[in-house]
Amino acid sequence: MKVLIIAEAGVNHNGDIDIAKKLIHAAADSGADYVKFQSFKASKLVSEKAKKAEYQRNNLKGDRDQSQFKMLKKLELSDDDHIALLKECKKAGVKFLSTAFDVEGLDYLISLGIDLIKIPSGEITNYPYLKRVGELGRTTILSTGMADASEIKRATDVLIKNGLRQSDLTVLHCNTEYPTPMEDVNLKAMNSIADEFGVSIGYSDHTLGIEVSVAAVALGAVVIEKHFTLDRKLTGPDHAASLEPDELGAMVKSIRNIELAISGDGIKRPSSSEKKNIFVARKSIHIARDLEQGHLLTNEDLIPLRPGDGISPMNWNEIIGKTVTKNLYQGHKLSAKDIE
């Protein structure tokens, strides 16, 4: 099964449609399947009194305004922006995706023709939102940052009770800290989710670097989501914890390689590529010293040497005590006709 790779542009466009278009082309060039943005109206997402998260303050050190509302207001995408981004994705050859944060936003994205729904971690306790996702019955991906198992169960129960098929749901292990410290990744929790809830699993990665995403694929993730930016030095809440385009490309390439590496049937046997090396790398029984016809073979008479296209050293004990049928010389590769 091909891993679905979502390049998370998020709000790394900084409210500039031209930057957003460049992000689309960077995602397409990397080989990602989707480029994902965020669709919201700040007034319906956050109160005007809400403070920025600590990571947002750290990444916006030059901005003394502590208002999360004002920060997000600058990052809204208009209806015209959405249409332009859809067209740009089609032009670039990468699928468009966006995350909505309320019921109205969900319905708006559906009207644009998106083929899957991505539930962000912050909405895992938003009952009206989850209910609507269930009713829509589309392929759905649920992020679980900040959640425990009981909250995941309640959320998935709402989704399935309201119409979503379990087979259409993928749950992403996630840690909502930007960047996530390696000691907090707890990647084994991804497999615990699979075991407990019987769903497909994936990983939404906020660590620095690409290795955890690659490891997640090796452990069974079928979806990987990763933030990226044109430049980590840009000002904005998420740039510092994002990959740059060349890193995104390296991640996609690594994941595709891991897909191939784990795609076998699990049966241990020589592969088609290595069969030609069997005789080269293995050994067969050779004569260690000159021997005359009629000599009874002993351990000292024999030596395992490459190539391995003669009698296998695994037949050693069967050869000892046999009689040499003709004079043999040091270095001779023993054959069945040389002994009786």
Domains of the chain in sequence order: 4-261 (3.20.20.70), 275-338 (3.90.1210.10)
Contact 340, 318 (CB under 8 A): no
Distance of CA 278 to the CA centre of its chain: 34
Q: Measured between alpha carbons, how far is 284 from 267 in angstroms, rounded to an integer?
A: 26
Task: Dihedral sign for Cα 45, 55, 27, 170, please.
Answer: negative
Contact 334, 287 (CB under 8 A): yes
Is the bond into 120 cis (omega within 30 degrees of 0)?
A: no
Q: How far is CA 333 from CA 297, 312, 313, 339, in A?
A: 14, 11, 12, 12
Residue 199 is predicted with a pLDDT of 98
Residue 1 is predicted with a pLDDT of 80
Element (H, E) at 243: none
Q: Measured between alpha carbons, how far is 112 from 83 in angstroms, rounded to an integer?
A: 8
User: What letter would DSSP give residue 194?
Assistant: H
Residue 68 is predicted with a pLDDT of 87
CB atoms within 10 A of CB 152: 19
Q: Going residue by residue through the chain (340 aa), what tens digit of pLDDT does each one get? A: 899 999 999 999 999 999 999 999 999 999 999 999 999 999 988 988 787 777 777 666 556 566 888 888 999 999 999 999 999 999 999 999 999 999 999 999 999 999 999 999 999 999 999 999 999 999 999 999 999 999 999 999 999 999 999 999 999 999 999 999 999 999 999 999 999 999 999 999 999 999 999 999 999 999 999 999 999 999 888 899 999 999 999 999 999 999 999 999 999 999 999 999 999 999 999 999 999 999 999 999 999 999 999 999 999 999 999 999 999 999 999 999 999 9
Token digits for 118? 């991505």
Residue 52 is predicted with a pLDDT of 73
Contact 223, 4 (CB under 8 A): yes
Terminus-to-terminus CA distance in the chain, angstroms? 55
Q: Which residues contact 111 (CB under 8 A, 6 or more apart)?
A: none
Residue 268 is predicted with a pLDDT of 97
Q: Measured between alpha carbons, how far is 232 from 120 in angstroms, rounded to an integer?
A: 22
Element (H, E) at 12: none
Provide the β-strand partners of residue 170: 141, 200
Residue type, 185: V
Give the SS3 label for residue 237.
coil
17 burial level (CB within 10 Å; 0-12, 13-18, 19+) = middle
Give the SS3 label for residue 177.
coil
Contact 156, 187 (CB under 8 A): no
pTM of the model: 0.90
